[in-house]
Amino acid sequence: MQMPQSIPGCPPGLEYFTQLDQVLVHQQIELFEVLTSIETKNRFVIKNSLGQQCYYAYEESGLCMRICCGPNRGFVMHVVDNAGREVIRMTREFKCCAGCCWCANNNHCAFHITVESPVGTHIGTIKQAQSCWIPNYTILDENDKAIFKIEGPCCVCQGPCCTCDFPFNIKTIDGAETTVGSVTKQWSGLGREMFTDATNFSVTFPKDLDVKLKAVLLGATFLIDIMFFERNNN
């Protein structure tokens, strides 16, 4: 995708988002991981609806953290544009006993990702929210004000007998709870699903949404992926 011109008030590198109402997030298959079942650093190609690459994301984490902690590990996700410039940084801290939806009202028990753009400037947070069963997340802006919530499906187990897509709906924080988009885990094919944990996601949002919030919703994709769709083979 051709790089747009700079826009006043828009964080450098996020100009792509002004033209988009959908991004496709495709995780790359790691051959070493397939052969050894040792978790490697995740890498993702981020494309527009036409399949043109607009961003590339790669994980920074320690080997021991990936082996011993699996999907609960802490990590930093670097998002770079086509010129190799880091435009977004997403950070999740390691929490030993986090992830249970029943206890997610406590900050020590809830996973969250902070998003920066440019690096060093906080623009939002994705925080796991308390629920009885279905996955729930709250999207906070740069002032820690709740803007959206994300509700997932009751079951997120894909397999040979369940080849459907799994939508995590993005809803407004009001009485109406209007659905404005989704983070959807797409079926990737039997071979890819059975022998790898490489995932494909589609993220939709209003085209006129603030580019900072679009970047935060992209961060929600990585949190959902690692919590529900990354196997712990260890």
The CATH number assigned to the domain holding 141 equals 2.40.160.200
The highest-confidence range among 45-59, 102-116, 217-231, by mean pLDDT, is: 45-59
> What mean pLDDT comes out for the span 93-105?
78
For residue 76, give Cα distances in angstroms to 55, 71, 88, 174, 207. Answer: 16, 13, 10, 32, 27
Q: Is the per-residue pLDDT at 88 higher than 80?
A: yes
What is the number of structural domains in the chain? 1
Domain annotation covers residue 104:
yes
DSSP annotation of 234: -
Domain annotation covers residue 46:
yes
Domain annotation covers residue 234:
no
> What mean pLDDT comes out for the span 119-129?
95
Q: Is 32 helix (H, G, I), strand (E, B) or coil?
A: helix
Question: pTM of the predicted model, to two decimals?
Answer: 0.89
Domain annotation covers residue 1:
no
Domain annotation covers residue 7:
no
Domain annotation covers residue 127:
yes
Amino acid letter at 209? L
Domain annotation covers residue 6:
no
Which domain does 74 fall in, by range?
15-229
As to burial, measured by CB atoms within 10 angstroms (0-12 exposed, 13-18 middle, 19+ buried), residue 165 is: middle
Q: Residue 49's pLDDT band (boundaries 50, 70, 90)?
A: very high
Q: What is the b/e burial string over 136-160, where b = at least 16 CB atoms within 10 angstroms of the residue's CB?
A: bbbbbbbeeeebbbbbbbeebebee
Q: Residue 31's pLDDT band (boundaries 50, 70, 90)?
A: confident
- 197 vs 48: which has the higher pLDDT: 48
Number of other residues whose CB lies within 10 A of the CB of residue 45: 15
Q: Residue 197's pLDDT band (boundaries 50, 70, 90)?
A: low
Q: Residue 233's pLDDT band (boundaries 50, 70, 90)?
A: very low
- Dihedral sign, Cα of residue 27, residue 29, residue 33, residue 34: positive
- 188 vs 171: which has the higher pLDDT: 171
- Dihedral sign, Cα of residue 83, residue 6, residue 86, residue 170: negative
Domain annotation covers residue 78:
yes
Percentage of the chain exceeding pLDDT 70: 91
Pairwise CA distance, residues 63 & 52, whole Å: 32
